Structure 1
Amino acid sequence: MTPGPGRRLIPAYLVTGGRSAPTGPVLDRLDVLLRTDAELPPDTGVEQRRLCELLDPGALTVIECAAHLDLPAGATVFLATDLVASGHLRARPPIPRAGAIDRSLVERLLVGLRTLH
């Protein structure tokens, strides 16, 4: 069977090594991944290498990496979890949205700044 346009040659379950649950830290799809300076061992898989190369210029979320690698999000979570556990990637939660600004606090701050003049 030959793959059609847009279909992967390697099924996603082979990328995960056939595992049904990742081993290592629990990652969310919106966690931000960052590359560390640790060198990849020679036996590192192709998809894991691609993920690390993707993160060389900077940080991306797990879901963004999945889109760039053309992998399902679940398979990308597996790859990222393995690389975080081995010290080749760091993961952090996304920055939460800022809360509503307390207008009275800002007004008091402005009054205080004006009294300094």
Structure 2
Amino acid sequence: MAHSEGGAWLDDEAGRLVRPYTVSNGRTQPSAHFDLLTLVMATGVRPQTYLGPDYDQVLALCDAPVSVAEVAAHLRLPAVITKVLLSDLVTHQALALRSPRPVEAASPTDRNLLEAVLHGLRKRL
């Protein structure tokens, strides 16, 4: 059994010994809306109460802007549990979030787009 630098106990064969639903106290609905591409960053404000080692690990990961997907990958937690942890930190004003900008979508019937896709497919075949 190994103790990682982030504080999560891991067993080489079994994985994380604390189950994900335990980390979020059984909650699966975040209080803030997060996309997997939403960027989060620590504000420098520390929560008034100690939330737990997983929250400390999240704050350490968020020194620079990082996506929700990256945080989940580093924590080795499902995205929904990671979103619950992040939303708790947003509620405590310890994290700021920025949603990804919507991309100007081309029309699905745009001839130039369709020709570019066709050209790309022909190159791969």
Which residue is 2:73 aligned to? Answer: 67
Q: Which has the higher contact order (CA 8 A, sep 6+)?
A: 1
Which residue is 1:19 aligned to? Answer: 27
| 1:24-39 paired onto structure 2 within 5 Å | 24-39=31-46
Q: TM-score, normalised by structure 2?
A: 0.68
Q: How many angstroms apart in 2 are the aligned matches of 1:73 and 1:99?
A: 26
How far is the alpha carbon of 1:80 from its aligned partner? Answer: 0.4
| 1:105-116 paired onto structure 2 within 5 Å | none
**Contact 2:42–2:62 (Cα < 8 Å) also in 1:** yes
For the aligned residue pairs, the C-alpha RMSD in angstroms reads 2.1
Q: How many angstroms apart in 1 are the aligned matches of 2:17 and 2:68?
A: 22
Q: How many angstroms apart in 1 are the aligned matches of 2:99 and 2:34?
A: 9
- Residues 20 and 69 of structure 1, relative CA distance in 2, 3 Å threshold: closer
1:91 counterpart SS class: strand
1:81 aligns with 2:87: yes
**Contact 2:42–2:94 (Cα < 8 Å) also in 1:** yes
How far is the alpha carbon of 1:41 from its aligned partner? Answer: 3.5
Q: TM-score, normalised by structure 1?
A: 0.72
Aligned residue pair count: 97
Larger radius of gyration: 1
Write the letter of the residue equivalent to 2:68: V
Instruction: Identify unmatched segments of 5+ residues in structure 2.
Output: 1-9, 107-125
Write the letter of the residue equivalent to 1:89: L
Instruction: Identify unmatched segments of 5+ residues in structure 1.
Output: 101-117
Q: Percent identity?
A: 33
Q: How many angstroms apart in 2 are the aligned matches of 1:85 and 1:98?
A: 31
- Residues 65 and 20 of structure 1, relative CA distance in 2, 3 Å threshold: closer
